[in-house]
Structure 1
Amino acid sequence: MEGLDALLREIRRIFTAGSTETALAWLLVAMIGGLLAGLVVSRRRRGRHNDVEYLFLASAAATRKAREISEIEAFARKASATAEDLKARVRRLRTGHFLQVKVYIDHSNFIRTWTQIVHSRDRPLEHDVDWARLPQVLLEETGDWLSSARKAPQALVYRGTNVYGTLFEESYFKLLETMLRLEQTAPDKLPLPIRLRKETIDRWREENEAHKIELMRTIQGEIGYQTVPILRRTPREDQIFSSNFTSGGIPIAPEKMLDTHMATDLIGDATFDVYDIALILSEDSDFVPAVDFVQEMRNKQVIHVGFGGHMNDLRAKCRYRIDLGRERLFRRVQRAGGADSAKPPAAADGNGGNNRSPASGKRPGG
């Protein structure tokens, strides 16, 4: 403490006017102040320099990135143009030599029509379509059409068959059984009276299982086939009053995504030149926009395959139609013994119908 007091007295003496050290002390203070001010100014200038340098580097990086993106886009455009030119050259080279053919089948739609035409009112659980023979017959009919139109190439190249089918979940049949019990015990809990018998539900369940086996095993096991099974959405029991129903009080299990899957594959395969000619086995007019696109924008040809001579929107849009009913052409794609496997018409159910299945005929699934 005494040392600090002595230091303060000495400083006071030095800075007192008239002291010999006063001028030197003030000069030293001025030099220190000037040095500190210079350091502050230098630091501020350095900060501004760093900001400018950072902005310059950021601008240069952004410019370089934009140039790289522009170069990539230019390369992509050039590659796309080259690919289109290459595909056009390949098409010109193969013109008159071969055409690629692919088949697209709406399984539920095709089987419903097949059953109505081939088996009348009878509905065998096991369908007698010869899936191995079907593409061969269709390619022969396509070749005959091209020959008659004087467009026949030296060969038709088969690119495979896509089969799209819808299936019911087991929960749908359990829902029907629950509604059947409520009809007998508490009919006021149902939105509509349900006209259905237990035997009919069991029959529908068997047919749905037969469809599943056909899609997942029989057809999938054939060479060149690819199956796309799609499950229908079962209405929730706690939301049954907001569901849609048939006139017989049967809840509708909506069919979702089949049309989208099939149309997407039809357009995608056309874009990548998987086929030159597409054969569609369906009567659904929802495919008309996709057929329009592949024929007008991708320069492909679409052939409709079905039964009968009546016209609809889909048939009218296609370049040609193969009528499986003409001269009983369907016999060529029917398994041996199929024509003799007919059974007596099914007994009518409580709905006044013929036990029409949700998997064939007019389906409660929509």
Structure 2
Amino acid sequence: MERTEYRVHIFADFWNYTLSVQRHRAGFSTDWKKLPKVLTREAGQLIDPTAMAVYSGMNVYGSYNAETETRLKNWASSVLDVFPGVNAKFIPRTRKKGPPLCPSCHAPAHKCVGCGADMRGTEEKGIDTRLATDLVSLAWQDAFDVAVLISSDQDFVPAAELLQAKGLKVIHAAVPPSGWHLKQKCWGSIDLTQHVNDFEFHKKSRTP
């Protein structure tokens, strides 16, 4: 019996996506209300143009610097997370255990010689694990038929292969040529550069 409907769930690696799309088009701003609609539409076209593709939700995973990126944290929780079907999971980045090393003598540089600030950078911990865990967990709960994975990280290859072994379809969405290895392991792919005009955010002009 032919299917007449496919439930599409989107999993977005926020920083991986944001940095890659801005390399493609400097200053690009995403309309996060439009993005899942565009991806659901394109996933449906790839799988079966005669069937209905239904948006079942979007999980967005990201991190922020607790000292300097409070606006990002607030936007994720008070704006992004309240969009229809969106579940935003943003966590603070942690300090690296060790400081950077001098490229010449390899001595650790603990503090800036100019201002005395801590030279240790921050790093993202646990984002990939959360995304992969939710991808598999929601699949096992029969929450979707098609997963659209927005990332170029090949660490998601095992999760994509596991879902497809279960009979689900995973579609890779990225800015080429990033994520070539992950794309190979997915059922299909969406070239985001072909659709950026459909989900670009435009500020509304004020009426004088």
TM-score using structure 1 length: 0.48
Q: Indicate the residue corresponding to 2:46 in structure 1.
A: 145
Q: Indicate the residue corresponding to 2:190 in structure 1.
A: 322
Is the 1:99–1:153 Cα contact (8 Å) retained in structure 2? no
- Paired with 1:213 and 1:262, the residues of 2 have a C-alpha distance of 21
User: CA 1:218–1:234 in 2, change beyond 3 Å: closer, same or farther?
Assistant: same
- Paired with 1:141 and 1:224, the residues of 2 have a C-alpha distance of 18
Q: Indicate the residue corresponding to 1:101 in structure 2.
A: 8
Is the 2:150–2:172 Cα contact (8 Å) retained in structure 1? yes
Q: Higher helix fraction: Structure 1 or Structure 2? A: 1
Q: Does 1:274 align with 2:129?
A: no
Q: Which residue identity does 1:291 align to in structure 2?
A: A
Once the 2 structures are TM-superposed, how far is the Cα of residue 211 of structure 1 from its aligned partner? 2.3
Q: Secondary structure at the match of 1:220?
A: helix
Q: Indicate the residue corresponding to 1:176 in structure 2.
A: none
Share of identical aligned residues, percent? Answer: 27
- Paired with 1:111 and 1:247, the residues of 2 have a C-alpha distance of 31
1:223-276 Cα distance to aligned partner (Å, 9 max, x none): 1100111121124xxxxxx61537786423232111111000000111111111
- Paired with 2:102 and 2:171, the residues of 1 have a C-alpha distance of 36
- Paired with 1:243 and 1:265, the residues of 2 have a C-alpha distance of 31
TM-score using structure 2 length: 0.82
Q: Does 1:133 align with 2:29?
A: no
Q: Indicate the residue corresponding to 1:336 in structure 2.
A: 202
Q: Which residue identity does 1:299 align to in structure 2?
A: G
Once the 2 structures are TM-superposed, how far is the Cα of residue 102 of structure 1 from its aligned partner? 0.1
Unaligned runs of 5+ in 1: 1-91, 171-204, 236-241, 339-366
Q: Secondary structure at the match of 1:116?
A: helix
User: CA 1:293–1:168 in 2, change beyond 3 Å: closer, same or farther?
Assistant: same
Within-5 A mapping of 1:198-213: 205=68, 208-213=69-74
Is the 2:44–2:51 Cα contact (8 Å) retained in structure 1? no
Q: Higher strand fraction: Structure 1 or Structure 2? A: 2
Is the 2:60–2:87 Cα contact (8 Å) retained in structure 1? yes
Within-5 A mapping of 1:119-268: 119=26, 128-146=29-47, 151-152=48-49, 154-170=51-67, 205=68, 208-235=69-96, 243-245=98-100, 250-268=119-137
- Paired with 1:134 and 1:162, the residues of 2 have a C-alpha distance of 12
User: CA 1:210–1:110 in 2, change beyond 3 Å: closer, same or farther?
Assistant: farther
User: CA 1:213–1:114 in 2, change beyond 3 Å: closer, same or farther?
Assistant: farther
Is the 2:30–2:201 Cα contact (8 Å) retained in structure 1? yes
Unaligned runs of 5+ in 2: 104-108, 110-118
Highest CA radius of gyration, 1 or 2?
Answer: 1
User: CA 1:310–1:108 in 2, change beyond 3 Å: closer, same or farther?
Assistant: closer
Q: Secondary structure at the match of 1:325?
A: helix
- Paired with 1:247 and 1:116, the residues of 2 have a C-alpha distance of 29
